[in-house]
Structure 1
Amino acid sequence: MTDLAAYDAFLRAKAASARPAGEAVTAADINPLLKDHQRAIVEWAVRGGRRAIFAAFGLGKTFMQIEAVECLRRLHGGRGLIVAPLGVRQEFMRDVLTLATGEHPDITDAQRAQLHAWQDGRPERVPSLRFIRRIEEADETGLYITNYETVRDGKLDPRLFDITSLDEASCLRGFGGTKTFREFMKLFAGDDRHAGTKNDGVKYRFVATATPSPNDYIELLAYAAYLGIMDVGEAKTRFFRRNSEKADQLTLHPHKEEEFWLWVSSWAVFLQKPSDLGFSDEGYELPPLTVRYHEVRSDLLSGRETRSGQMQLIADAAVGVVDAAREKRASLPARIAKAAEIKAASPDDHFIFWHDLEAERVALERAIPGIATVYGSQDLEERERVIAGFSDGRISDLGGKPSMLGSGCNFQRHCHRAVFTGIGFKFNDFIQAIHRIQRFLQPREVVIDIIHSENEREVLRNLLAKWEQDKRLREKMGEIIRKYRLNEQAMAEALERSIGVERIEVKGEKYRIVNNDTVIETSRMAENSVGLIVTSIPFSTQYEYTPSYNDFGHTDDDDHFWRQMDFLTPQLLRVLQPGRWACVHVKDRIVPGGINGLGFQTLSTFHADCIHHFRRHGFAFMGMKTITTDVVRENNQTYRLGWTEQCKDATKMGCGVPEYLLLFRKPQTDRSKSYADVPVVKAKKEWDREAGAWKNPGGYSRARWQIDAHAYARSSGDRHLKAEEIAGLPADQVYKIWKEFNLSAIYDFEHHVAIGEALEMRGALPPTFMLLPPHSWHDDVWSDVARMRTLNGEQNAKGREMHLCPLQFDIVERAITQLSNPGDTVFDPFGGLMTVPYCAIRLGRRGLGVELNPGYFLDGAAYCRAMEEKMSVPSLFDYLDAADGDGVEERMPEAAE
């Protein structure tokens, strides 16, 4: 029997939470100058070992980084390294000095005394920080800081340090596509896919930023990959819908949203204010923010030649990157003039002028007397001198790009005014720039002036929409933090709630189907009780069919999938009669180049792995049937076999991926003979030449055997119709299918209700008219008037993905006919829409199926009942007929006004 306790432990281990990889510390181990919320986060981060600190501006992110690295250094010795943007090191130097001496205007005498008492006799508790560019400048121990450029250019190897922290890790936002990201993954995380190597990298590593972008999922996945929490490809499969056209355009499964944010919260803390962790917000109220918009006129007369060679009279609105760049150049004089006007109106205020173009910087220097600017070709020491001068109030006006100055710099002590001399599409740069001055401990109202042209209204709308979305998602993260605080155990328990299913059984005279976990249900079945197994197993991580951890598709990789199958396959062998067969439908899966590290798509060895798995559990491999697929349709789904790409370079292309029906046999009891304990016996159907007729016309013919014995199995492709597919049809076509079925079957009220409920579950049952009325055969009863014209055919399947290749009727029927006796029980442990039990009933066998997904189970129950009562059930081909239009006319009135 399956060890159900071990199986339950396996399911609970699926919960996607980051395991601790650090050291336990207490409040007594942490510098007493840290605030309560800072101390709690440091304790959590050190315990985790690899964590992200996403704390809002002014909450002490710098203090927390320094102390987290120092805590681990005090425990283990060695060297710690903080990597920070240019212009930020003075902030770290200032904060290290505060933590070492307590000398700061905001530190009281009592706090300073507490610090000295904590440090007394413990020199390792007195931090020091040194800026370095080469390892030769470092000692064997100590805390050091360097710039990103130093690491990126190969001057300093972070693998020579024991603990690292990335401050404002903007390089990770360009996941996969930037040299910096790849280099940092190799150096810090030990992941060099291009060289085919993988090691643990730096043992302890942190990232910290005030503005991760919650609405940019790729950024969050990149942080998780860098920290060693989860591979990006695995996270995409676990939480997101696939977009084969744009790999990094991710859509979070609706039923995975709560789990995704709980998982993120297990390794990242999104802190908006101290009260999120239950502490006082005193001193942490954000200053009021006033945003003012200034629209300057655009030159609407284009005078530009288009690609087609025609002259354009009116300039297009700036909706794309190319148009926006063109508009920026055209409107530059007007925008700079407006910026100078804003400065002239408040000459005593300190300003920072944000810009994107080098031409804008030059124009600002001409328009605003005394302004200091920073730029890419500037000497690094000069750049840092200018930044420090503005931060300390010695320089009143500063010009710079958000991409250079927008991260890490604190300008709130002397500046509360910012002017965006132009706008762009990069929301992260925009919000970072705003929060250089709008942050906790800013004493004055912050005023932001945004200058844009008439033709940039759409760019502005997009920017503001992202801002609103960012606020909503941050509130979502705040809810999780307030609910679970930093309690990993509470988060893990919340994630485990999607384990288990309430068992439901439906049965008739010739079938029994169960809504349950197939491992649990199969373990309850009697030994040697099944005459044949026909099933289409889940294709590893390809799709998840339910939000439950019991789902076999809810696995990390192929190895993880087969480990869950290890609980089921021995039970399949146990319940199958000796000498009988198990027919397993599989298909190899496409592995994207970004996941395999090769840069081009490859195939998994899934069908071969399946053969190895079943043999390992005692089944004998008897062969496999190949079922060809539509190569054009496959390419449309995967963009793997395109003709254009074939013409560019045939070496990157593969071939179409067939389906396979793998054939396994449970060894018979008596090994001295090869027959099954209960043989599958067929009466021969033979042609009587003398009589000119078939002997035993209902028997098994030589012609059928020759086709059955062939390794190539053609299929009509017909199968059960899914409610998702009905939901995707315009309502008038759904109406036609329902009418034809309703008038050709014996009416059953409960079946009628079940069909309606199945559509309702998928959001495809209209609330304003009756889509599935009871139809009448009588001409004087008009039951065929649909009270609408059409519905939107682009309805979603409520977060569920359709099976990659559902099992077809004729494949199932051939296996049942060839390999079972009339009256045998035919079992499908992954019943889905119950195609196997349905076909078994039709062929005079008993059907048995188990399905976890309640929607599929309900549909399958309706199909099995219909077959037992000899109803005509709509199939895929009926759906295609309706979708193509079969000439059936319906009386469809005009939609009501």
Structure 2
Amino acid sequence: MDYAAFLAAKRRADPPTGLTDLPPLAEALFPFQADIVRWALRRGRAGVFAGTGLGKTLIELAWGDAIARATGGMVLHLAPLAVAAQVIREADKFDVPARQVREQSECGPGINVTNYQKLGHFDLGRFVAVVLDESSILKSATGHYRTHLIQACATIPYRLAATATPAPNDFMELGNHAEFLGAMSYTDMLATFFTHDGSETQKWRLKGHAEAAFWRWLASFCVMLRQPSDLGYEDGAYRLPPLHQVQHTVRAEHDPAATGTLFPMEARTMRERLTARRDTVAERVALAASITPPDRPFVWWCNLNAESEGLARAIPGAVEIRGSDDEDEKERKILDFVEGRSLHLVTKASICGYGLNFQHCADTGFVGLNDSWEQVYQSVRRFWRFGQTQPVTAHFIAAETEGAVVANLKRKEADAERMASAMVAHMADLGAAAIRGAERDRPVYAPAQALSLPAWIGDAA
């Protein structure tokens, strides 16, 4: 073996294991979506990290339908709670056959849609393919769903993971996606491309000499884009309207004798932050209620139960979606809001902040904040997404003592933007070559008539 062959043998890349003969795809797909589906079908096991509103649900459905038609087997499409019904509505809209199921006995050939909470009711070994909608559920290295999905899906030949936020704060979530997709284990990824950052063994950074190799490896089984132009397509209707973020600060009651300080101090520790939130619930709820427009849709996101209960009482006709509501009740309340039977929704990001489409509403707000930038990002993106025709306004209400929380979210937003920009910059050319290099629909040019040049051209020559 010569040296070039030796180096080629050491190159890290996940080889395609998918379909070679692709069936026709849904006509509703935009060109960039159709090319991503074709690429993912050839890959067999692929990650699609596409910004919110870029049609991930349609991509997932088209991919699953093609696999089902090619193999005649069952596809399991997993989605967050209350999103499964929306996936079915999307399937009906685009004429893709799919059924919503609650347990294994209800499954059949084709696409079977359920939510992650029902995962234990299914034998994943009986499916030829699995689709993870909002696959950021894999982020926790010790999470229950992460471990179960990686182990149970290890022998499933076709796997698709799709999310808008694959790694909002660090690279570790990419390792979980790689392990789920069978490209490399989480620990092998760390050992191959990363090194400990000083003495903190939980912090890793890319090895300087491995950076280019890491992005090439990632692009061999994942594609990332925030808008179609990241892969060389026209953005067209994917240009979003303006987003306005408005911060409101509530003054906190302060007793110098009790605290020993002349002025209120910003919360620093997690315990101090929680105390600051609990002490100002009434003031923040009152301000939120005064902001709520009486004649147009509005969604308030809460962090504490006391905030949710207070807003439901303070806003006439507001519908509260609680974690204790059963699944059917959650879906009924969401559908009532989407179809205009209710105007004001009060809920938590952990319940309705992922996967749902609320483009009919252009106003939202957070009466309570926590330290999860991803929850804030995902919640705002329920409104600020493809299909939204109005400028979107997001209100943020925090006590003056919660300054550390607001600052933390801003820092995480900046970190996430830097990482997303870096990922897109490194993967754009690689992704464009892989995606646009896939077979595309092109008119066949087969000239059958000879061309005759005018005499004056020949004379000029």
Both structures adopt the same fold (TM-score exceeding 0.5): yes
Following the alignment from structure 1 to structure 2, what is the Cα–Cα distance between the partners of residues 291 and 435? 13
What does residue 383 of structure 2 align with? 437
Query: Are residues 1:340 and 2:309 paired?
Result: no
User: Does the 8 Å CA contact 1:336/1:363 hold for their aligned counterparts?
Assistant: yes
User: Does the 8 Å CA contact 1:25/1:46 hold for their aligned counterparts?
Assistant: no
Q: 1:376 to 1:76 in 2, by over 3 A?
A: same
What does residue 79 of structure 1 align with? 74
User: Does the 8 Å CA contact 2:56/2:162 hold for their aligned counterparts?
Assistant: yes
What does residue 36 of structure 1 align with? 31
What does residue 718 of structure 1 align with? none
Letter in 2 for 1:11: L
Query: Are residues 1:174 and 2:140 paired?
Result: yes
Following the alignment from structure 1 to structure 2, what is the Cα–Cα distance between the partners of residues 18 and 12? 13
User: Does the 8 Å CA contact 1:44/1:486 hold for their aligned counterparts?
Assistant: no
What does residue 356 of structure 1 align with? 303
Deviation at 1:281, TM superposition (A): 1.5
Q: What are the Cα deviations for residues 833-877 of structure 1, in whole angstroms up to 9, with x where unaligned?
A: xxxxxxxxxxxxxxxxxxxxxxxxxxxxxxxxxxxxxxxxxxxxx
User: Does the 8 Å CA contact 2:101/2:114 hold for their aligned counterparts?
Assistant: yes
Following the alignment from structure 1 to structure 2, what is the Cα–Cα distance between the partners of residues 25 and 419? 48
What does residue 285 of structure 1 align with? 239
Following the alignment from structure 2 to structure 1, what is the Cα–Cα distance between the partners of residues 21 and 291? 51
What does residue 186 of structure 2 align with? 232
Which runs of 5 or more structure 2 residues have no equivalent in the other structure? 438-461
Query: Are residues 1:24 and 2:20 paired?
Result: yes
Q: What are the Cα deviations for residues 249-307 of structure 1, in whole angstroms up to 9, with x where unaligned?
A: 222234433332332222221111122222221111111100011011123437779xx
Question: Residue 237 of structure 2 aligns to a residue in which SS?
Answer: coil
Indicate which of 325, 328, 336 corresponds to 2:277.
Answer: 328
Query: Are residues 1:159 and 2:125 paired?
Result: yes
What does residue 12 of structure 1 align with? 8
User: Does the 8 Å CA contact 1:276/1:478 hold for their aligned counterparts?
Assistant: yes
Following the alignment from structure 2 to structure 1, what is the Cα–Cα distance between the partners of residues 163 and 9? 30
What does residue 396 of structure 2 align with? 450
Deviation at 1:25, TM superposition (A): 4.7
Letter in 2 for 1:30: L
Q: What are the Cα deviations for residues 716-751 of structure 1, in whole angstroms up to 9, with x where unaligned?
A: xxxxxxxxxxxxxxxxxxxxxxxxxxxxxxxxxxxx
What does residue 49 of structure 1 align with? 44
User: Does the 8 Å CA contact 2:88/2:113 hold for their aligned counterparts?
Assistant: no
What does residue 368 of structure 2 align with? 422
Q: 1:371 to 1:454 in 2, by over 3 A?
A: same
Sequence identity (%): 34
Letter in 2 for 1:35: F
Which runs of 5 or more structure 1 residues have no equivalent in the other structure? 101-126, 190-200, 306-310, 492-897
Following the alignment from structure 1 to structure 2, what is the Cα–Cα distance between the partners of residues 442 and 72? 32
Deviation at 1:180, TM superposition (A): 2.4
Letter in 2 for 1:337: A
Query: Are residues 1:143 and 2:88 paired?
Result: no
Q: What are the Cα deviations for residues 604-627 of structure 1, in whole angstroms up to 9, with x where unaligned?
A: xxxxxxxxxxxxxxxxxxxxxxxx
Question: Residue 20 of structure 1 aligns to a residue in which SS?
Answer: coil
Following the alignment from structure 2 to structure 1, what is the Cα–Cα distance between the partners of residues 20 and 133? 23
What does residue 817 of structure 1 align with? none
User: Does the 8 Å CA contact 1:164/1:202 hold for their aligned counterparts?
Assistant: yes
Q: Which has the higher contact order (CA 8 A, sep 6+)?
A: 2
Question: Residue 248 of structure 2 aligns to a residue in which SS?
Answer: strand
Question: Residue 146 of structure 2 aligns to a residue in which SS?
Answer: helix
Deviation at 1:214, TM superposition (A): 4.4
Letter in 2 for 1:18: D
Q: 1:75 to 1:304 in 2, by over 3 A?
A: farther
Question: Residue 4 of structure 2 aligns to a residue in which SS?
Answer: helix
Q: What are the Cα deviations for residues 637-661 of structure 1, in whole angstroms up to 9, with x where unaligned?
A: xxxxxxxxxxxxxxxxxxxxxxxxx
Q: 1:76 to 1:302 in 2, by over 3 A?
A: farther
Query: Are residues 1:393 and 2:340 paired?
Result: yes
Following the alignment from structure 1 to structure 2, what is the Cα–Cα distance between the partners of residues 430 and 417? 14
What does residue 442 of structure 2 align with? none
Deviation at 1:432, TM superposition (A): 0.5
Indicate which of 181, 185, 190 corresponds to 2:150.
Answer: 185
Query: Are residues 1:473 and 2:427 paired?
Result: no
- Greater helix fraction, Structure 1 or Structure 2: 2
Q: How does 1:660-699 map to 2 (within 5 A)?
A: none
Letter in 1 for 2:409: L
Following the alignment from structure 1 to structure 2, what is the Cα–Cα distance between the partners of residues 483 and 180? 33
Q: What are the Cα deviations for residues 564-606 of structure 1, in whole angstroms up to 9, with x where unaligned?
A: xxxxxxxxxxxxxxxxxxxxxxxxxxxxxxxxxxxxxxxxxxx
Deviation at 1:34, TM superposition (A): 0.8
Q: 1:187 to 1:62 in 2, by over 3 A?
A: same
User: Does the 8 Å CA contact 2:84/2:113 hold for their aligned counterparts?
Assistant: yes
Q: 1:36 to 1:488 in 2, by over 3 A?
A: closer
Aligned residues: 437
Question: Residue 114 of structure 2 aligns to a residue in which SS?
Answer: strand
What does residue 267 of structure 1 align with? 221
Query: Are residues 1:216 and 2:181 paired?
Result: no
Q: What are the Cα deviations for residues 351-400 of structure 1, in whole angstroms up to 9, with x where unaligned?
A: 11011111111111111111111121111100111112212222211111
What does residue 403 of structure 1 align with? 350
Deviation at 1:473, TM superposition (A): 2.2
CA RMSD for the aligned pairs? 2.2
